[in-house]
Amino acid sequence: MALNRRGFLGAGAGVLAAPAVLAEGHARPRVLVIGGGAGGATAARYLARDGAGAVAVTLVEPSRVYVSCFFSNLYLGGLKRIEEIGHSYGGLARGGVNVVHDWAVAVDRAARVVTLAGGGELGYDRLILSPGIDFVEGAVPGWSLAAQNAMPHAYKAGSQTELLRAQVAAMPQGGIFAMVAPPNPYRCPPGPYERVSMVAHVLKETNPTAKILIADPKPKFSKMSLFEEGWAEHYPGMIDWVGEDFGGGVVRVDPDAMTLSIDGEATRVDVCNVIPAMKAGRIAQIAGVTEGNWAPVHAADMSSRVDPDIHVLGDAAAQGDMPKSGFAANSQAKVCANAVLAALTGSAQFPPRYANTCWSLIAPQDGVKVGATYEATAEKIARVDGFISQPGETAALRRETYGESEDWYAAMTADMFGAPVT
Amino acid sequence: MAEGKRLICGGLVAVLCGGAAAADALCSDPVLPAGDAAYGAYLAGSCRSCHGAGDPGAIPAIAGMTREDFAAALIGYRCGRRTHAGMQGVARSLGPREIAALAAYFATGAED
Ligand SMILES: Cc1cc2nc3c(=O)[nH]c(=O)nc-3n(C[C@H](O)[C@H](O)[C@H](O)COP(=O)(O)OP(=O)(O)OC[C@H]3O[C@@H](n4cnc5c(N)ncnc54)[C@H](O)[C@@H]3O)c2cc1C
């Protein structure tokens, strides 16, 4: 059994950890969660629910509606409506989470106070950061946030995703959809390729002579053989993937001229989906818990290796072998919530458990998946055991796999946000 | 417990049970310890990522399963009598103590 660094006290042992922190003058220990996505919403919900009022839980999140990146490619493919991937925070509020719609802009770790963009201040006994990703400035020459309307990333879901869908719909017959794929590590390893699949599905129906051009800095990508097989079957001749060996990493874009240059050769394109290199959401860096682009954490409880009062979840964390996925963030959040409650209230702390499955859709009803279980070691979250869909599977199995992803989406968003308030 | 064919685990002794030998014993002679429902409540968090409360579709609902059915299903996956790549991996990552805890928890009806 992998041991928690604070020591695992099994319930069978009949001993509970003493409350470690109870700042004087506060009736209840305070947990502050920054970011209401896959990691943060789950952590806030589990803290409020399992803590049953013993801790005060506040969630800071600027958006009133969380548009999930997961299934946003299905929206691009015309298979989901935007409302189907949007989730409000009302269920969390009803569940006892104090939801504050604002941005965290500063973290005073010595005083344990977070400052909000609106000017407010929130103190904490434990701080949980799950801010997702930001883009590395200058990662794609010619592209900046100022150009994201001409060349959307659509890698934070919402208006960017709607924009990209509108751009695909407006492509001239026989036009070119280009993607600049990101280098590792980045959120959702199969995400760019599922997106290509969904765009190809739309083009096949509405614009069959259109082409898709992918410039990729990597020599290979997640579920590559499955995607390549599916592309050849469903979209023959439509998709041209230019990997590292052919200069896919040597790119430049010109958002005014709408050109993409790969290894010095410029192509005029109609849509250019630029997905730059990523790093932890900026607040993690501001808090001073990052090393390089990501925030290193202990596998036992997702606590920061820099500050034991801070935990980092999801995409922002450097934790080891788990991919940056919503499933992984949700899994990490439950381990973290259990450990934080144990530290603050003396409730039982159980051994960490981590798992992940990422489903991807290649064409309607043609779903594939990859997944693994993990264990916490002193160094990292380490992969134990995994599985992946195989090429040549029957249509019935692929349909079943797609059905699983639908059920997972419903279950996981309910697990994050609780039942919607109707 | 490499030497004993039957697993007699419960309370404090349960922490001694686990690992590969226990896995084999579970497949041939599945005797589970008394389940700790509080531990099961924590472990159930992993189930909830996929198993929701909605209509059973490709992923079945598991809330309200009896202790026996729940344990039999997980042991079936663990021992390869039931096949599903994801669930087999999950079941292999659970020891007798975890399976018993989950079964005890789900039988409480707390997830219904
Ligand atoms: C196209 C695409 C497809 C994907 N498909 C899947 C899939 O099928 N399955 C899967 O498991 N994963 C998928 N993912 C990955 C998944 O979306 C992420 O891994 C997951 O959202 C990470 O959770 P998180 O909590 O780290 O970040 P997020 O879910 O992004 O949440 C971060 C939140 O923090 C908020 N925030 C940021 N900074 C601040 C601040 N300073 N103050 C307050 N709030 C702040 C943001 O507004 C945001 O709501 C996909 C991603 C993409 C882009």
ipTM: 0.90
State the distance from the centre of ligand 1 to the C-alpha of A53, rounded, in angstroms. Answer: 27
As a whole number of angstroms, the distance between CA B34 and CA B32 comes to 7
Cβ-contact A164, A196 below 8 angstroms: no
What is the distance between the terminal CA atoms of chain B, rounded to a whole angstrom?
36
Cβ-contact A34, A57 below 8 angstroms: no
Domains of chain B, earliest start first: 34-107 (1.10.760.10)
Report the candidate in A120, A159, A141, A124 with the shortest Cα–Cα distance to residue A21. A124
For residues B64, B65, B71 and B73, what is the CA-based torsion angle, rounded to 10 degrees?
A: -130
pLDDT tens for chain A, 422 residues: list them.
344 434 344 433 334 444 544 545 568 999 999 999 999 999 999 999 999 999 999 999 999 999 999 999 999 999 999 999 999 999 999 999 999 999 999 999 999 999 999 999 999 999 999 999 999 999 999 999 999 999 999 999 999 999 999 999 999 999 999 999 999 999 999 999 999 999 999 999 999 999 999 999 999 999 999 999 999 999 999 999 999 999 999 999 999 999 999 999 999 999 999 999 999 999 999 999 999 999 999 999 999 999 999 999 999 999 999 999 999 999 999 999 999 999 999 999 999 999 999 999 999 999 999 999 999 999 999 999 999 999 999 999 999 999 999 999 999 999 999 988 88
Q: Which residues of A251-276 are buried (b: 16+ CB within 10 A; e: fewer)?
A: bbbbbeebbbbbeeeeeebbbbbbbb
As a whole number of angstroms, the distance between CA A26 and CA A54 comes to 12
Domains of chain A, earliest start first: 13-134+278-349 (3.50.50.60), 137-274 (3.50.50.60)
Structure confidence at residue A25 (pLDDT): 54
Report the candidate in A385, A388, A380 with the shortest Cα–Cα distance to residue A352. A380
Q: For tokens 């990691």, name the residue.
A: A39
pLDDT at position B9 over 70: no
What is the distance between the terminal CA atoms of chain A, rounded to a whole angstrom?
43
Cβ-contact A168, A76 below 8 angstroms: yes
Subunit contact B45:A387, Cβ cutoff 8 A: no
Structure confidence at residue B11 (pLDDT): 31
CA of B60, closest CA in chain A: separation in Å? 9
For residues A233, A259, A244 and A218, what is the CA-based torsion angle, rounded to 10 degrees?
A: -70
Structure confidence at residue B6 (pLDDT): 36
Residue A408 with chain B: CB contacts under 8 Å: 49-50, 59
Q: Which residues of B53-79 are buried (b: 16+ CB within 10 A; e: fewer)?
A: eeeeebbebbeebebeebbbbbbbbbb
Rg, C-alpha atoms of chain B:
14
**Of the partner residues B43, B48, B90, the one whose CB lies closest to the CB of residue A373:** B90
For residues A334, A336, A340 and A346, what is the CA-based torsion angle, rounded to 10 degrees?
A: 60
Subunit contact B93:A385, Cβ cutoff 8 A: yes
Subunit contact B42:A338, Cβ cutoff 8 A: yes
Which amino acid is present at A34? I
Cβ(A127) – ligand 1 distance below 6 Å? no
The strand pairing partners of A357, in sequence order, are A371
Q: Which residues contact A133 (CB under 8 A, 6 or more apart)?
A: A155, A156, A186, A187, A278, A279, A280, A281, A315, A316, A324
Q: pLDDT for B22-67, tens place per residue?
A: 445 889 877 899 999 999 999 999 999 999 887 768 999 898 889 9
Burial category of A224 from C-beta neighbours within 10 Å (exposed 0-12, middle 13-18, buried 19 and up)? middle
pLDDT at position B2 over 70: no
Ligand 1: which of A194, A302, A312, A315 to mutate, most ligand atoms within 8 Å of CB?
Answer: A315
Q: Which residues contact A291 (CB under 8 A, 6 or more apart)?
A: A305, A306, A318
For chain B, count helices (H), then strands (E). 5, 0
Q: For tokens 């319930």, name the residue.
A: A11
Range scoring the smallest mean pLDDT among A3-7, B10-14, B57-61, B90-94? B10-14
Q: For tokens 């592209």, name the residue.
A: A143
Of ligand 1's listed atoms, the one at least distance from the Cα of A63 is 47
Structure tokens that stand for A367 in this block: 């779903």
For residues B109 and A418, the model is more confident at A418
Structure tokens that stand for A329 in this block: 């963030």
Cβ(A327) – ligand 1 distance below 6 Å? yes
Structure confidence at residue A27 (pLDDT): 83
pTM (whole model) above 0.95: no
Cβ-contact B60, A411 below 8 angstroms: no
3-state secondary structure A347-387: CCCCCCCEEEEEEEEEECCEEEEEEEEEEECCCCEEEEEEE
